[in-house]
Amino acid sequence: MLHGISTSSTLVYLAAVLSLFVLPATAAPPRRRLPQIKLVQLERAFAGHCPNQTIGEVVSCGEALPYINDAIGRLFSLSRYGLKTRGQRAAYVSNMAYEGAYLKYNRNLVNPSQGTRSIMPAVSLKAFVDADSNVQLLWPTYPSLNESAIVDVLIENKADFLPGAWWTVAGPGCSDVAARLSKSEKSFVDWEKGCINGGPETIPARLAIYKTVYHSIR
Ligand SMILES: *[C@@H]1O[C@H](CO)[C@@H](O)[C@H](O)[C@H]1NC(C)=O
Ligand SMILES: *[C@@H]1O[C@H](CO)[C@@H](O)[C@H](O)[C@H]1NC(C)=O
């Protein structure tokens, strides 16, 4: 994981240096942006399940959207991940919808140290924190931290939408299957088995949501 991060930061650095030579001196640096999900698209993607109000752990689609778009676009900010394809964005949004009953729950009902917006159990949240040096700043004691309370710290700091986006493309075993995510059902099932591994009995429900989300966003 650490090796992967340092390789990609080297590539980012090389790309930045190369761009100095390729771009005309007067050109502003290119500002690439990933497509942002619009509220009407998220509402269509959630097919009538958007919570109407933010109360307790329930968050409305309108309030969640900036955090979802921020998580999707992190590749071009300080962190080094990003959901570059429509399939990757749909996989992230649909699994969050599945895990948290469409933004209704933020902590897993059975295991409260698992986040539903972050999509992950504590051990995977720890892998996320270890991979993201910006997020580590949330723990003054890092690398020492209370694993069962990671989800609480992420929620308090409004960082609970980030881990699921990271895992979608950068979690262990995820990058190859994430690269192939498309409108095909097989591509999603391959990704679910190789990356999320939420259990074979959950695949039909996850797939149904994925298809709706995929067709609703760009
Ligand atoms: C939101 O409000 C509408 C209209 O009152 C209702 O039909 C819908 O079921 C509500 N949605 C949720 C998720 O509660
Ligand atoms: C770790 O966090 C959990 C959940 O908030 C809490 O119950 C527990 O007391 C904490 N453990 C330590 C050692 O602080």
Ligand 2 mean position to 155 CA, how many Å? Answer: 15
- Low-confidence stretches of the chain (pLDDT < 70) are 1-32, 75-81
Q: Whose Cα sits closest to atom 4 in ligand 1? A: 52
Indicate whether 146 belongs to any domain. Answer: no
Supply the pLDDT for residue 10.
Answer: 45
d(CA 181, CA 58): 29
Q: How many CB atoms lie within 10 A of CB 141?
A: 7
Indicate whether 183 belongs to any domain. Answer: yes
**What contacts 127, CB < 8 A, 6 or more positions away?**
1, 171, 172
Supply the pLDDT for residue 32.
Answer: 61
Report the domain count for the chain: 1
Ligand 1 atom nearest 52 alpha carbon: 1
Supply the pLDDT for residue 19.
Answer: 45
Indicate whether 190 belongs to any domain. Answer: yes
Indicate whether 91 belongs to any domain. Answer: yes
Does the beta carbon of 141 lie inside 6 Å of ligand 1? no
Supply the pLDDT for residue 20.
Answer: 43
Which numbered ligand comes closest to the C-alpha of 150? 2
Supply the pLDDT for residue 217.
Answer: 98
Indicate whether 99 belongs to any domain. Answer: yes
Supply the pLDDT for residue 74.
Answer: 75
Supply the pLDDT for residue 81.
Answer: 67
Supply the pLDDT for residue 82.
Answer: 84
Which domain covers residue 76, as residue numbers?
A: 29-109+161-216
